Every structure is written in C-alpha cells, then in structure tokens.
Structure 1
Amino acid sequence: MLPAYALALALVVTGPLLAPGYLLLRDAVSTPRSHLTDVALGLSDAAPRALPQDFAVALGSHVVDGGVVVKALLVAGLWLAGWGAARLTAAVLPDAGRAGQAVATTLAIWNPYVAERLLQGHWSLLVGYGCLPWVAAAVLRRREGAGWWWPLAFWLALAGLTPTGLMLAATVALAAACAPGVRSWRVPAVTLALALLVASPWLVASAVAGSLPASQAAGVPAFAARAEPGLATLGSLAGLGGIWNAEAVPETRATAFAFIATLVLLTVVAVGLPVVVRRPAAVPLLALAAVAVVVPAAMATGPGLVAVEAVVNALPGLGVVRDGQKWVALAVPGYALAGAGAVILLRRWLPGAAVAAVCCAALIATLPDLAWGVGGRMTAVSYPDGWRSAAAVIDADPGPVAVLPPDSMRRFAWAGPAPVLDPLPRWVRADVLSTGDLVIGGRTVPGEGARAREVQDMVLGGATREELAAAGVGWVVVESGSGDLDLPLAFRDDDLTVYRVGGSAPASPHRALMIAVHLAWLAVLLAGAAGTTVATLRRLRSGATSAPGQ
C-alpha cells in the first residue's frame, strides 16, 4: 500500500514528463543517445561533477532512448524517497503504523527541496536524495546484526550517480551508525570503504585530468542559500527551501505564503519530536537534521562566505560545497521520522488515520504547485529535426567541437522560457569544448574550461580554418542564429549551423583507466542489487516456512 502511495505522489509530481519527449530544464539535459566520450568519462578540463551519471546514461541510452532513461530515473528517485521514508519509519517507529508511514512518505516527496531541485534540473541529485532513507535503514539493520552488506552497497552506489549524492548518502550512513546501542567499528569502516570505491570515477578523474582549479571559489557568494519572503535564511532552510536561484522556486515560495507553508511543515515536525527523541536509533538523524539546517545558514552569512571561500581556495575539490542549500537533504530522514511521530502523539486524542489524513493534506496544500511538473514548468520537450541531422553530420567524423554562443546555458524557443545547459555535449560522439562559465545575477562565475575558452576566443576573433584545425578543432557549431563564420559549411537550418574545420585531437591516454573505475562502480551497483534481491527472497521464504500451519 505505501509503495503504491509513494508512486502515486511521484507520478503526480512528474506527470508531464510521461508524455513523449525529453527533460530539458536548466541543469537537466537528456538526449536520444549519449556516448562514452572523454568528456563523459571525466577526461576534460572541467570538474567531474556528472560522474558516473554520464557513463550510466550513455550505457542505458544504447538500450533504450536516453530521454526515457533520465525520466525513469527521476521518477524512481522520488518514488524511492517516499517508500524509503516509510521503510525507515517502520524500522525506527514501528508503532507509528501505516498512518505514520504515510505522513513520512508525504513529507519526503512533497516538500520545497524536491520542487526547487526539480526546477534547477537536478534529477540525478534527487535519485541520491531518494536513497537516503534506505541507506539509514540498511545501516540500522546491520548495527543490530540483521540483514547483509548488499543493501548498503547498492544504495550507496545508486546515490553515487553524482558526487553530491554519494556524499549525502555516506553522511547519513555514518550518522545512523552512531546511534546509541551496539557499538561496532565495522559499519563505519565498511561504509567508508564502499564510499571510496563508489567515488573512484570522480576521484580518479580529478587526479588524472587535473580539473579542479581554485577558480571555483569565485562562485561561493552566488551559490549561497537565499532567504524567502517573510523568512530569514535560517527559516527558509528549516522549511527545506532557500535554493540560491530565485528563478528555480515554485510560485508559492516567492510570496509571503512561504512563511505559512514553512510554519505548517515545522509544526508537523515539532509535534512529533517529543516521541522521536526517545528512540535511540532516531537521535543521530535528528541531530543531523539540525546540523543540515544550521550549517548552510551559517555558510550564507558574511563570515561564512569568507570561510567557505578560504576552504575552496585551499582545497579546490571541495567546490562542491558551494551550493549550501542542497545539503538540507540531510534533514529529510529526521524530518520524516518526526512527521511519523506526530501520528503517535496525536492519536491519543484522535484516530491515527484521521491524524495522518490531516497532516498529509496540510503538507500538500501548503505546496500546491509541486503538482504536475511544479505547476507545469517541467515538461517533456521535443528536439527540432535539425538537431538530429547536425548530430549525424558530426558523428560521421567525431572531431572536437567548438560551440557558439560561448555561454554554457542556452535559451531555445522550442524548449520553454527557462535556460538549459547546451544539449550538444551529451548527444554527439565527439568531445564538445565547454568553458563552464555561468552568468548569475549579471555576474560571470568562471568555469574550468580553459582550453574551450581559448578556442572560443579564436573563433570569435575570426581565426582561419587552418588556425582552428591546428588547435585541434574538428567542427564549429553555431546555435540559435549567432552569426555567420567564414568557414566551410556542412549543415544549416533555422536552429543550427555546422562548419567543418577538420582538426583532430588524440584521445586521452587515461580512457582505459577511467572505463575501469566506472566498471568498478557498476560492479558495486549490480552486485548490491543482486545480493539484496537474493537476501530478500531468502527472508521471504524463511518467513513463509515459519508461518503457522506450514
């Protein structure tokens, strides 16, 4: 019953994506086919933020359409978040029953964090988010001597589609391992070992590609958490909102209604706290929730920004911490348990089903525009035919591609009003040069693509075909009518112009290494899935044979 309820909520949220087409919204880019280019393997001068996500999507798109792969993973992430919250509640608060589990499920799916990350296009982060309650439940079972290591391996590997997802999951696992009771070094030790193995794609890519310059510190103020109307930054984060991009928020969170919605959410959580704090297994998750709210709020203050900039300058690999609000995901397992605890407390005076119905309805009513693609702003998009034709031209001779305009984000009339990352790098077989520069509030936050910046300067400066070929450029693609170039024309329509340059660049000598570490991640994922399936079947068979009358 609870899995079906969680799936229903996930489908209500993502309904528009069930139509034919592709997810194209800000950072979310899906294409019909992806390839194992050097860029997809992390062998470029850009930070490896999308590993092993790009590897997984490239493999999946060779079996089914890439748009289906991305949309299926997004729906699965939200479904797992709700179902996992119910399972975690059953493990920590068994007396909450289905009523409490329903509240936990609703809170995990229907909240501002999910809405804002959907609008920002962070579909793979939401897959990691969906793994968090499962990770906590798996660790708690291992601490009690029940279950196997397979589930923990699987959930860490699935969350590890992105570096942030893995960091979130490993943090939840370590917190759950600190619950009072049985003390063992094995759970945190195995968690760290698995996390390092799962992280090997982006750790190794960072080492061999040298793609973590100190320039990441320049974006710290731009990515700081943001206060919503009627709320300070701390209040916005406590209400699971406050993303840095004011354009990636539901309409109700851009008004004073955000205060009412936050008050309702925190009331549900606060009512259940007296019950949950008495459960030892829940205490570390509640403490983690408090830290996940307070620390990002502190990071958004003047001294906090200075401290984060200093850390990122000293350790460029920690540029991932710039977006402080995304760490609020760590609060959701604790919040979900507290929401379930509200049912336990209030059913002293009211039926549990009635309490659950009121709590669930209140959570949904205070964020009505999460429904149906966050108020219709997240839809399935169809590419113009010219994109397929241009990709076919480049794929016939996959040399490095330079793209104009130089910005990383594009606005296409056929893709809706919101900007989107250039789809070309995830479509063609060639490596597409990208600077990674972002313009936020009129200020340019420089990316890591030094070579791409040099090539784009050459193109904008009127470099000849011979000069571009000598620089290793195979093609120049001009999108959305950005002007004509004095280069040999290979394809043109109303949306794209492709120029043939003919240059080439050698493949990275580290391709075999990067494929090997990606296969190691995939092995952990598949082995974890197989082991979990076998263990579950054995448990079900054991339960059936021990039932009365058997």
Structure 2
Amino acid sequence: MGERTRRLVAALTGLGLGLAALGPGLAPGFVLSYDMVFTPDPAFTPMTFGLTGTVPRQVPSDAFVTALAAVIPSDVVQKLVLLAIFVMACTSAASLVPSRRLLPRLAAGVCYAWNPFVAERLLLGQWALLLGYAALPWVVASAVRTGERGGTRRLVRALVPAAIGGFAALTMSGLVALVVALVSARSRGPERLKDLVRVVAVVLALSLPWLVPGALRPAGVPGDGTAVDVFASRADTPFGELGSLLTLGGIWNGETVPRGYGTPVLAGFWLVVVLGSLFAYWKWCREPEWRRGAAVAAAVGFVLAALGAVAAPVLRGAVGLWSGFAVLRDGQQYVAPLAVVVAVGLGVAADKAIGARYAMVAVGAVAAPVLLLPTLAWGAAGDLRAVRYPADWARAREIINGDPARGDVMVLPWALYRSYPWNHGRRVLDPLPRYLNRRVVVNDALIVGRTTIAAEDPRAIALAPAAAHPDAATLREQGVRYVVVDAETAKYRPTGAVPVLTGPDLAVYRVDGARAVHEERISAAPVIVAWIAASAVVFWSFLIPGTTLGLPLLGSIRSRSPDRRPHHSRRAP
C-alpha cells in the first residue's frame, strides 16, 4: 500500500468519524451550541474584523465563514468546517506514526479525532479552537524542519487552520511550535536557534489580524482575575482534576461533558489506554526528530492546564500583572499537545503488537476510543441537532437592516447566552450580533454559577443602566434605534417605543429620533495592513513549484520511520 493510499484511508476514516459524531447535525439548518454560532447569509461588518469595542475573539474565523458563505449556503459551510476538523485530525495524527502499516496509523488517527477533549470542546461550540487542534500534529512535525528548504513555508501551511481559528487556536498551536522548535534547537546546537526565530516570526505574522485590533482596542486588553476560578479545570472522572486532564477531559463547563462520560468503568479503561499509550511513546517512539519536543510540549501544556485548578492564586497574580496572561485561564485547552502524544503512543503500541503477531490488539486499539466514548456519536447523543431560525428572525432582519436611520440595536433580556425553545433549550451565544448588519449591543458579562465576569464592551457597560428599566427617552439619548426582545414579554417592553414586530419568537421595538453617539473604534488602516501582511505570508507559503491545496498533500509531513530512509518532502503539509 502506497503512502498516498494510506493518507487517503486516514482521511476517509476521519470523514466517517465526523459523520458519526455529527449525526442529526448534518440535517438542513444550523447547529447552535454555546460558542458555536452560524447564521444565514452573514455579512461583513466592523465586528467581523474587530473594529468595534468588543474583544476580537471572532477574528478571523467570522471573516472566513462569511467569505465561504458568499458562495456556499452558510449551513453547508458549518457542516463542511465541522467535518474537516475530523478529517484533518485523523489524517494529521496518522501521519506522525513512524510506521508503514495502516492499522497503527488509524489507531493514532481515531484516538486523536475521537476523545474527551474533542467531545467537550465540540459541545462547548469551540469549532475555531478545534481547527487548530486538528492540524496540531502537522505543526509538531513542521516546527523542527524550518531550517530545511521550504521548511518555513511548511510551518506556515500547518498553522493556517489555527490562524483561521483565531487567538485561542493560534496561541495553543504557536506555543507548541515554539516548544518543539526550542527543544530541537537545544538538542542540535546553537545554529538551530535560527529556526526558533523563524517560528516566532511565523506565529506573530499569522496573529496580526487579531493581534493588531486587540492591541489597539481603546479599552485595552481585558483581564479579569476572578475568571481564573470559573475557567479552572474540573473533575469529570473519578480521578480528580489532574486525572481528568490526563485522560484529556477536565473541561470547566459541566454542561458540555458527554453523557455517560466519567463513569468508573469507562473512565478506568480509558485511563489504562492513556497510560499504556504514554508508556509506548516513551519506550518505542525513538526515531522521529520531533519526539522530545512533542513530549516537552505535552508536559508544558499539562502544567498550564492544571494551573487554574492547583495554583489559582499564581495565575490570578499573573493576570493582575499583565492582562495578556488571561489567555491561560481556560486551561483545559492546553492538554491538546498531550492528545498528540497519546495518539502517537497508541499507534506505536499497535505497531509493536502487529510486529509481535498480535494483530487483533491493533484492531482493538483502533476501536477503543470509539467504544470508550460512545456518546460522542449521533450528535453527542442528540445534543447537537440542526435547527432553523424562526420566521420572526428573518422579518426582524428585513426591518432593521432596511432602515437607513442611524442607531444601534439593544437585545433584551440583558444576558449573553440564550436558551431558545426552538433550539431545544440548548444554550448558545446570542446570534443577533452576527445575524444583523447593524451594531448590536448585548450584555457580554458572563455569569457562571455565582460568579460574574465583568462586561468588556464599552457600549454594553454604558447601556447596562438603561437595560434595567428601558424607556424610549433614555434609549434615544444612548443612541439606540431598535430594541429586540427574544419573545413578547411585558417585563422587557421599553416604554414609549414603537412595536414594529410582535411574534411568538421575537419582538422588535423602534425608538424614533435616536441621537448619534460617539463610539471609540479602531482605525481600519492598521487592521487592513495586518490582514495584508498575514495574507501575504500565507500566499508566500504556497509558492513552491508543484504544490496544490489538495487535502492529500496535507499529509505529506512524514515521520522518519526506522524502515525507510529520511525523505525531505517539498510538498505542502
């Protein structure tokens, strides 16, 4: 079986896993779950590029989706993106296993694409982070080869999915690339420090679309130390916080833990698989030049993931010193490099089993992740289902987008997440800021249990008093043109406002004569320059004769296996 065939089989296996995981989410409509918000016919707005007062967490992922939705229906875009995560995850992890055998590669690919980390982050709706996760094995392989001809270009291409994902995905992937490059530099001499400089330059260049608007944000970079306890890893197995992280779980939000996960029997078997995979990685994964770097990255990631749970005062102090450390609050996302090591270790163990004539053990290694986490299947046991936006929403968009008068839109009830009946009560980030073309102000303060993380949007902070007792006079002075209420509720009806839509799912009120309110925004010029620079780096990375954007070429970052000579591919990762 040729290398290209093995990559194709891994990609098809990933596609099968994606189809099994999404299930009812593949029906017409949108899967809306926590941070996963896709809307019909999205449009480019200042928020798309982080030019408003909000923190640019949606940059550049929203722009990527909006651009695709210009030629493909946006619900189809969502399904293609989610399926691509599983295809890339399976293919990239399979490519790292230093063996020509197919079963060991599939064992690694299935383990990497189907595990508690993927399930919990998918339920949390963090598809953008999972884009970076899916390509992380390619990043590991590329980070040690930037000194070779075309090596820097390969690293750029490997980081493109994370760059599309935005700050969380690229922070995690960039950290792994830096650690792997640093370990390689230390092991291969001072001249390899040039590779480290290249990695830093690449990560910074690809970060520019969100880094520039974040740095220029008038209100600065927010960093609430109280959020450390909220986002700290939680035990979702009988093994406590650290044991849960070791098994690639431990997410902070208990509502996004797959059904049935963490039971003593299944969790115990999964822990055995993880520990066995780590042993196999340490014992038998000796050949690849990235081996030590990946192991160190996994250890560093595990420490960062556990920081909020075991040393919260340290992390709170760090956030207080510099708000940029707030990126470490959601610690569980940093177990991603550990997932790479576990997946490769399982593949190596399967390869050894075949070599010892225990082929059925290798078959069991391929099936184990799915058997031990069955509730990821069929839309996470039915939690991820496609729904359609109600007709009231379309009518509201027609009214609001067609009004030439100035003024913003305020959304009531004054909360960030919604539980719509038409979305089966599943929580989702308010879609209206992406659904409407006008500036939409929502309360972006996050309430988790008894803890409230302060609002970050200056407009939301200014409108908070008016939201408590909305009346037309106050809203007019605050520059509000429309008030949108999730459902017709007398409690939230702004006095003096004109009702223009009253439906079972949405009510819209117009405030006549809204005055112009100055809102500090980021200048578009530096953001445009940032996008041009990042795009130029990506285009440059594909300027190697004979390369294409085809998926099979993404698997051409190969490990140097004991049974073949080193091969320096010049094709795309």
Shared fold (TM-score greater than 0.5)? yes
C-alpha distance in 2 between matches for 1:45 and 1:509: 8
Query: Where do 1:260-339 residues align within 5 Å?
Result: 260-277=269-286, 279-301=288-310, 304-339=311-346
2:126 corresponds to:
122
Distance 1:505 1:55, change over 3 A: farther
Distance 1:2 1:485, change over 3 A: same
1:488 corresponds to:
498
Deviation at 1:317, TM superposition (A): 2.5
C-alpha distance in 1 between matches for 2:488 and 2:544: 53
Contact conserved, 1:236 with 1:262, CA < 8 A, in 2?
Answer: no
- Among 382, 392, 398, the alignment partner of 1:392 is 398
1:497 aligns with 2:507: yes
Deviation at 1:422, TM superposition (A): 0.5
C-alpha distance in 1 between matches for 2:254 and 2:522: 42
Deviation at 1:273, TM superposition (A): 2.6
Deviation at 1:526, TM superposition (A): 4.3
C-alpha distance in 1 between matches for 2:37 and 2:84: 17
The number of equivalent residue pairs is 530
Contact conserved, 2:229 with 2:308, CA < 8 A, in 1?
Answer: no
SS at match of 1:474: strand
Distance 1:252 1:526, change over 3 A: farther
C-alpha distance in 1 between matches for 2:188 and 2:464: 59
Distance 1:237 1:459, change over 3 A: closer
Query: Where do 1:508-519 residues align within 5 Å?
Result: 508=521, 510-519=523-532
Distance 1:526 1:33, change over 3 A: farther
Distance 1:66 1:216, change over 3 A: farther
Deviation at 1:254, TM superposition (A): 4.3
SS at match of 1:374: helix
1:157 aligns with 2:160: yes
1:227 aligns with 2:235: yes
Root mean square deviation of aligned Cα: 2.4
List per-residue Cα deviations over 1:43-97 (Å, max 9, x = no partner).
23332212111222222222222222232222112211110011122xxx1x362
Letter in 2 for 1:344: D
Deviation at 1:430, TM superposition (A): 0.8
- Among 469, 480, 485, the alignment partner of 1:478 is 485
SS at match of 1:498: strand
2:376 corresponds to:
370
C-alpha distance in 2 between matches for 1:383 and 1:263: 44
Contact conserved, 2:146 with 2:198, CA < 8 A, in 1?
Answer: no
C-alpha distance in 2 between matches for 1:494 and 1:477: 13
2:173 corresponds to:
169
C-alpha distance in 1 between matches for 2:479 and 2:123: 36
Letter in 2 for 1:329: A
Distance 1:457 1:119, change over 3 A: same
- Among 537, 540, 562, the alignment partner of 1:524 is 537
1:460 corresponds to:
468
Consecutive unaligned residues in structure 2, runs of 5 or more: 1-8, 557-573
C-alpha distance in 1 between matches for 2:172 and 2:34: 22
Distance 1:529 1:379, change over 3 A: farther
1:543 corresponds to:
none
Distance 1:74 1:528, change over 3 A: farther
Taking only the aligned residue pairs, the percentage that are identical comes to: 32
1:52 corresponds to:
60
Distance 1:497 1:530, change over 3 A: farther
Deviation at 1:121, TM superposition (A): 0.5
Distance 1:306 1:175, change over 3 A: same
Q: TM-score, normalised by structure 2?
A: 0.87
List per-residue Cα deviations over 1:277-322 (Å, max 9, x = no partner).
5654311101221222233223312xx1111111112211222211
Contact conserved, 2:471 with 2:494, CA < 8 A, in 1?
Answer: no
Letter in 1 for 2:51: L
SS at match of 1:35: coil
SS at match of 2:534: helix
Deviation at 1:395, TM superposition (A): 0.9
2:4 corresponds to:
none
Query: Where do 1:55-204 residues align within 5 Å?
Result: 55-89=63-97, 93=98, 95=99, 97-143=101-147, 145=148, 147-160=150-163, 161-177=165-181, 178-179=183-184, 180-181=187-188, 184-204=192-212
C-alpha distance in 2 between matches for 1:18 and 1:124: 18
Deviation at 1:164, TM superposition (A): 1.2
